[in-house]
Amino acid sequence: MMANITEISDKTFNDETSKGLVITDFNADWCPPCKMMNPILEKLSSTDELGGKIKFTSMNVDHNPDTPNNFGIQGIPTFIIKKDGNVVGRMVGYQPEAKFRMELEKYMN
């Protein structure tokens, strides 16, 4: 897993995403768009303006079926944004870096 991104599971999801601003990347090892997002997530999670204010987490849907099922995730990658435990945003599919950054910045206030 990437240095600034916390790998989470069905068991740890609620604890890891209940406080502050958190984005969870629901992905799988076999998913090409998921792999295309990895460098973008690593870059953004390493920046002071985003990485310092948003917690980046990642969940493999093949190893953790319960949480994706609970959120109705049907396509990957899917990104769920939570603020203090409440879902405030969702993005599905590959996102260019600039669009992804703009979307995250909307929730930082």
End-to-end CA distance of the chain: 28
CA separation, residue 4 to residues 27, 33, 65, 70, 95 (Å): 16, 20, 24, 26, 19
CA distance 59 to 67: 9
31 part of the active site = yes
Catalytic residue among 8, 22, 31, 73: 31
Q: Is position 72 annotated as part of the catalytic site?
A: no
| Active-site residue (options: 22, 23, 34, 76) | 34
* Helix (H), strand (E) counts: the chain: 5, 5
CA geometry: angle at 75 spanning 65 and 24, to 5°?
65
**Which residues carry out catalysis?**
31, 34
